[in-house]
Structure 1
Amino acid sequence: MKPVLTVKDDYIPQCDSCKTFGNKMCEHRTLGWGILRWAGEHFRSDWRYTRSQRRTILRWYEVDENGKFVYQTGTLQLAKGSGKGPFFATLAAVEFLGPVRFSHFDDDGRAVGKHPQEPWVQLFAVNQDQVKNVTLTLNSLFNQAAIAKYAMDPGIERWHARQTDGTFCLLEAKTASYRSAEGGRPSALFMDETWHWNESNNMVNVYHTATANAAKVGGRTLMATNAYIVGEDSIAERVHTAWQRQQDGKQRRTGMYYEARSADPTFDLEDEAQLREAIATAYGDCHWVNIDAIVDQCYSGVITRDEVLRKYLNLVTAAEDALVDPVAWDNCGVELELKRGDRIVIGLDGGESDDATAIVALRVNDSFFQPIAIWEKPDGPEGQLWRVDKEAVSETIDWIFANYRVVGFLSDTAYWETYVHQWNEKYQSRLDVKASGRSHVAYDMRGNQKEITEMNVALVGAIENGMVKHSGNYGLSRHVKNAKRRNNKYGTSFGKANRDSQYKVDAYAAALLAFIARTRLIASGKQSKPRTVGKLQTRGGF
């Protein structure tokens, strides 16, 4: 079974020359090799990083041709018991005393590190037990020569030391609170178990305060978490959402590292052999993990299916009011793409400013979803006056009709009446299904609550039974997983978590409109074999 990875397993930073000659130990684009040597000299003799941990260090300390870090913030999303705490402790120790800032390129072009000007490492955890996971490792990590060399004074929650040039170094490990985060100037910031960090325990304020403190002095932030629960609005979920938007090209800043290793969600949980393989896949080279004990726990009847998936297989799971099981949606992912000439139907759900605007295509012959484009309000100051470019959306519609056999097109009318009328006039002769009695395109989602509800139930059932496919696009997947169940007199419909929620669902709405169009097409009997397809086309949100 192949793992699901956010970073390719064999990726190691390399300069162009080393890529050409296949040199995997390139030191020109990472401080990581020097850091690993430093750890080997100063940590106790029996400490060994696993291969995957070494790769993480090489990646996290990647620099560009100017010596600037490629990543300022990062997240490690790993299964429970995969050694996040001890690994975090070693990285904190490295930031405390090691050569973790770029100094110069030597005569051979290798990146050389130095210690920060004012080393101040802060490690935050939600409770004292999490702090202990880190401090127990720290207290036994350094060898005696290192303790003497750096005049180290270890404490319970604070460590003092001095570099050989006299620079004072401070490391703090503590339970997080808003007050404890105030006033810091950390050169490195570590945040543990961020799936527990939410509004209810005030950890969101801690996150904002601590990261702002780090940013003002150029400090770097690294987080560790188990798979989060969709809809709890934890820091882990917020950060993952931001990273997904980065992958979609929606973020101006791209200096975010996200490393996750999960089991393939298509395995059968009831099949013990498949479960064992999935667990082994999720844990990779964590040789200390007792797979027998985990299997026993999974079948104990004490923990739920969602806990098994989230804790031991590193799969994101749904909150109680989620519309779609994230694992079921991921199961429908395939390595396919639309091709020019494909026979498709499309759905458009449009917003103006706060809500997203999405166009999603559904191939008629195999129920394959692929978003054509998703326009979303940017985060931060640039989003304050943002409005969707409706002309760009209309041009995208023209592009779709020029490159595919579009036989159905449903567009919600809210905010888009003029454009919907124009599209209907222009393309109605090519469409085999009508959206309403007066238009081939105009579909009033508010006025069709009964059909929306019935088709929503049908689409969710199709997802859960693997009867649809999708391309794995981050934008569409985010919106599908954000959707919440909303009951009405006709059954179960969908909606956002609340009116002002930052977790948008517009691409799911567009997919549902496409699903309705295909359902009507099939019912009409106007199915036909697709014409010969041509070259792969991409647009907008890809």
Structure 2
Amino acid sequence: MVPAPDDELWPTLGPQVCDLIEERAVHGPGALRGRPYVLDPEKRALIYRWYEVFPQGHPRAGKRRFKRAGLSLRKGTAKTELAAAVAFAELHPEGPVRCDGFDADGEPVGIPVSDPYIPMVAYTEEQTEELAYGALYVMVTEGPDVDQFDPGLDRIMRWDGRGRAVALASSPDSRDGARTTFQHFDETHRFTLPRLVAAHGTMLANIPKIMAFDPWSLETTTTYTPGEGSVAQGTHEFAELVASGKNRDRTLFFFHREAAPKPDEDLGDEETIRAAVREASGPSIASWPDFEGQVDAIVSLYNAPDTDRAYWERVWLNRRVQAGRQAFSVERWAELARPEQTLPEPGDRIVVGFDGAQFRDATALIATHLSTGFQWSLGIWECPPGANDPGGEGWECPEHEVDAALVEAFNTWDVVRVYADPPYWEGMITHWKGRWGDQRISEWWTNRPKAMAYSLRAYQGAMTTGELTHSGDAVYARHIGNARKKFLKMLDDQGQPLWVIEKERHQSPLSMDGAMGGCLSWEARRDAIKAGLNQPKRQSYVYTA
């Protein structure tokens, strides 16, 4: 919990907010749909923390203590419905969600926001109805206060027209000046696309604009997969900086519950795995009716033959673990970063790997210093999200920029080899061969499964041993994290399965061309060293009588 509980309790509107929710709200979609909303002790405690205000006598007396809250809990804990209940209180014409002074006992007095604007963001349009907005819709249409609201599938308004909640699933650039009073981001571990990360940043920037509303943000999620660069990862890592004292932010509240990994833990052991599920659930969830039946069901999923156990551990134990098919360890990749290291001296020998597409996805040029194994990006060009969708502007990788980047590399360093994957770029590669010759420019087809698998194994091995280091380029790191294993129906000489890399799914916007370019660059280095190209250049001498 960040910040940790204080020795002395802060004043809070939490009790009043909880009373309104339990008196006027109902449960959303699910087994309890339409029944009066009941808060378990942990959710009540969270609301108390979220609605803490500065005490009497403070220069900011009555103002919210926290402007941003993050909640990270395992799957199946009704955290999305909790966010909907908070949105219900924030939208309600009688919601006691802002402080209007203190009573005779020094307790804050809550009043509603006069004209609330509540964006509720899901990661896709299809999810808006299934996540928090969908739960809020049930609360206002099936609860006792149906006469207070004018609901719609994409917006819910007060009947008096003063205030609304809206469902969003795309970049809110057009809403940059929105007068937000409260906003919610749901399942932020899925906010990995650049447009969603940018949208989150844009909307956070709305919070300080109209301080009279005392606005704030709430993020709810299951924990993230490391290396995907999600909003959930950014929030969690930011909270860790605050907890360690490396950042002095005082406006963040963050709560994360997981089953702490234990030395030599064996989740195949019945007692161990059940204890882990209980720990990830917490005492309040453990008091739910037939909780042990839920534990049985969760454990049975772990034991199913087709279960991705890394995914299971992430969603049910709320642990930050690498995706089961993730090709490269993003933690190890981060350890190999050398952002302070300067690029090789002009004239040093380097190699380059090239992979990409012309009209979709991304294109990458990755360089490797022949003598040290240090890698850096000469350029990664990514298709903007939605550019090639129906009605989009269309995108084509700028060939002149790719060509210019490689020309600059040749002009700066001694480029001894370029390994380029030919599809879609045959004409450009032919042009490069004409300019620099076949000995330096080589076609390296990545659609040869066995050759690709051995190349990738060498690339991964270089990461493991530390032979490879890199500049810390964020886009390159994201591509490394996006690469997924595709196992082949063949084994190596030791009987181990071989694999190549692919995107997480067909047509996924999460590009991995940088990872492929990096592998080709490393393969070029290996072959160049075998050919003796890393030997010192011979000195020429002129003898005179």
Normalised TM-score (structure 1): 0.55
Is the alpha carbon distance of 1:275 and 1:130 closer, same or farther for their aligned partners in structure 2, counting shifts above 3 Å?
A: farther
**Cα distance in 1 for residues equivalent to 2:471 and 2:340:** 19
CA distance in structure 1 between the aligned counterparts of 2:331 and 2:196, rounded to whole angstroms: 27
Does 1:295 pair with 2:299?
Answer: yes
| 1:391-470 → structure 2 map (5 Å cutoff) | none
> Which residue of structure 2 lines up, in the alignment, with residue 61 of structure 1?
51
Q: Is 1:32 matched up with 2:39?
A: no
Distance 1:224 1:107, change over 3 A: same
Matched, 1:106 2:103: yes
**Structure 1 residue aligned with 2:317, among 313, 317, 322?**
313
Where in structure 2 are the equivalents of 1:209-358 lying within 5 Å?
209-218=202-211, 219-266=215-262, 267-284=265-282, 285-286=284-285, 287=288, 290-318=294-322, 320-322=327-329
Counterpart residue identity of residue 161, structure 1 = R
What SS does structure 1 have at the residue aligned with 2:193?
coil
Q: CA deviation at 1:257?
A: 0.9
C-alpha distance in 1 between matches for 2:17 and 2:143: 19
Displacement of 1:31 in angstroms is 0.6
Deviations 1:260-311 (A, max 9, x none): 1111211421112211111122112232662211111111122222112101
2:89 matched to 1:94? yes
| Matched positions, count | 328
- Specify the alignment match of 2:68 in structure 1: 73
8 Å CA contact 1:39–1:94 kept in 2: the answer is yes
Matches of 2:130 and 2:338, distance apart in 1: 50
Instruction: Give 1:497 deviation, angstroms.
Output: 7.7
Contact 1:181 1:206 (8 Å CA) reproduced: no
Question: Structure 1: how far apart are the matches of 2:16 and 2:461?
Answer: 58
Question: Quick one: which amino acid aligns to residue 190 of structure 2?
Answer: H
User: Could you say if the C-alpha distance between residues 273 and 6 of structure 1 is closer, same or farther in structure 2, counting changes exceeding 3 Å?
Assistant: farther
Q: Which amino acid aligns with 1:203?
A: L
Q: Retained in 2: the 8 A contact 1:6–1:261?
A: no
What is the alpha-carbon distance in structure 1 between the residues aligned to residue 2 and residue 173 of structure 2?
Answer: 35
Q: State yes or no: 1:146 paired with 2:180.
A: no
* 1:92 Cα offset (Å): 1.0
Cα 1:262–1:115, aligned 2, differ >3 Å: closer, same or farther?
A: same
Do the aligned partners of 1:214 and 1:220 also contact (CA within 8 Å) in 2? yes
What is the distance in 2 between the residues matched to 1:253 and 1:353?
30
Q: Residue 296 of structure 2 aligns to which amino acid in structure 1?
A: D
Q: Residue by residue, what CA displacement relative to the aligned partner does 1:429-478 show, whole Å, maximum 9, x if unpaired? A: xxxxxxxxxxxxxxxxxxxxxxxxxxxxxxxxxxxxxxxxxxxxxxxxxx
Give the Cα–Cα distance (whole angstroms) in 2 for the partners of residues 35 and 312 of structure 1.
29
1:29-64 Cα offsets, whole Å, 9 max, x none, are 111011111223322462201111101100111112
CA shift digits 1:1-56 (9 cap, x unpaired): xxxx6676xx5x78x4xx6xxxxxxxx61110111112233224622011111011
Please say if residues 338 and 471 of structure 2, whose CA atoms lie closer than 8 Å, have aligned partners that are also in contact.
no
Aligned residue identity for 2:242: Q
Instruction: State the match for 1:498 in structure 2.
Output: 472
Alignment match of 1:169 (pick from 133, 146, 163): 163
Find 1:191's aligned residue among 169, 185, 194. Answer: 185
Label 1:55 to 1:320 Cα distance change in 2 as closer, same or farther (>3 A): farther
Q: CA deviation at 1:113?
A: 1.3
SS of structure 1 residue aligned to 2:16? helix
Higher relative contact order (CA 8 A, sep 6+): 1
Per the alignment, do residues 83 and 497 of structure 1 end up closer, same or farther by CA in structure 2, a change over 3 Å counting?
farther
Q: Identify which of 110, 117, 121 aligns with 1:120.
A: 117
Distance 1:63 1:325, change over 3 A: farther
> Would the alpha carbon gap of residues 489 and 55 (structure 1) be closer, same or farther in structure 2, given more than 3 Å must change?
closer
- Corresponding residue for residue 443 of structure 2: none
Whose Rg is larger?
A: 2
Runs of 5+ in structure 2 lacking a partner? 27-34, 56-60, 343-458, 478-545
Deviation at 1:241, TM superposition (A): 1.4
- What letter is aligned with 2:104? D
CA RMSD of aligned residues (A): 3.3
Say if 1:49 and 1:252 are closer, same or farther in 2 by CA, change over 3 A.
same
Amino acid at match of 2:167: A
Q: 1:490 to 1:324 in 2, by over 3 A?
A: closer
Distance 1:489 1:293 in 2: 38
Distance 2:46 2:23 in 1: 19
Rounded Cα–Cα distance in structure 1 between residues aligned with 2:218 and 2:172:
18
Sequence identity (%): 25
2:101 and 2:152 map into 1 onto residues whose CA distance is 34
* CA distance in structure 2 between the aligned counterparts of 1:489 and 1:312, rounded to whole angstroms: 30
> How far apart are the structure 1 equivalents of 2:302 and 2:16?
41
The 1:35/1:493 distance shift into structure 2, 3 A limit, reads farther
**Could you tell me whether the CA contact under 8 Å between 2:191 and 2:197 is conserved in 1?**
yes
> For each residue in 1:169-198, what CA deviation from the matched residue of structure 2 results, as whole angstroms up to 9, or x when unmatched?
211123233456544221001001111112
Kindly state the Cα deviation for residue 154 of structure 1 after the two structures are TM-superposed.
Answer: 1.2
8 Å CA contact 2:186–2:220 kept in 1: the answer is yes
Question: 1:351–1:141: structure 2 CA closer, same or farther, 3 Å change rule?
Answer: closer
Q: Is the 8 Å Cα contact of residues 332 and 464 (structure 2) preserved in structure 1?
A: no
User: SS of 2:304's equivalent?
Assistant: coil
Compute the displacement of 1:121 (Å).
0.8
Q: Distance in 2 between matches of 1:36 and 1:493?
A: 56
**Distance verdict in 2 for CA 1:179–1:500, change over 3 Å:** closer
Letter in 1 for 2:49: R
3-state secondary structure, aligned to 2:185:
strand
Q: Which amino acid aligns with 1:138?
A: L
The 3 A distance-change label for structure 1 pair 114 and 276 is same
Is 1:206 aligned with 2:225?
no
